[in-house]
Structure 1
């Protein structure tokens, strides 16, 4: 049976619909991002993880969100430019979404249900990270303050399988 994750889709930051099934066979790190957050420098660490492991089957997916203290007020164009200019982000970025509440994106509804956190089925803050294995199964949730470098050890083991 196909993973429910692969039945989901999202609009990328260029406005094109991307099917999550395009990432079949890859390990996926889904992150809700913000450009004006104290944790924004994590973009740099996420890009390093992506560069280090992309040839071994890792993809990082960034989902900008403005639900936490108005820290992502820009439009898709300014978000994309900021990520590239300030952090050299080359991993896929998506259109701005909501991660909590009635308007939460289906990807986040699914991930929060599969891997509840401290606040149950809520996202606590920007840069909450979800790791999905190569079969589309959510396997680990990381807190916003978990630096990408800490995820490296976990990825190393996972990608070595």
Structure 2
């Protein structure tokens, strides 16, 4: 579980926003996360299968997943990605520099999902989930001067801040 006492007030606020928007529901079935037999996606499916997004930490991702954790969402089906997206939102907020490619490249991946929505279907998220993403992107752009977070915010998510 995540450590509350090491987070700033702003990080705790972001966590609360993400948890409220995405809620805690059962994880998707393995075949709903990824439906392929290629090696890398199979490793991703096996790692995430049965795990709730809120039970995975950066340390668990690094120690239990044998691949590079930064690309996991990109291989997932829209249902799997939308379910595990709050995990990555919180990792970016809480471990921006420590998370290396998992967190430093996260906003650029969100931008890619938005630009290729016909494939990634990021638009299938509900309004509250989109608002939470927008707030996280604003936080990343402001706190960490993440240019991709600002670009993603400007591209699609700024409309959700009003």
- Smaller-chain TM-score range? under 0.3
Question: What is the TM-score when the length of structure 2 is the normalising length?
Answer: 0.27
Question: What is the TM-score when the length of structure 1 is the normalising length?
Answer: 0.28
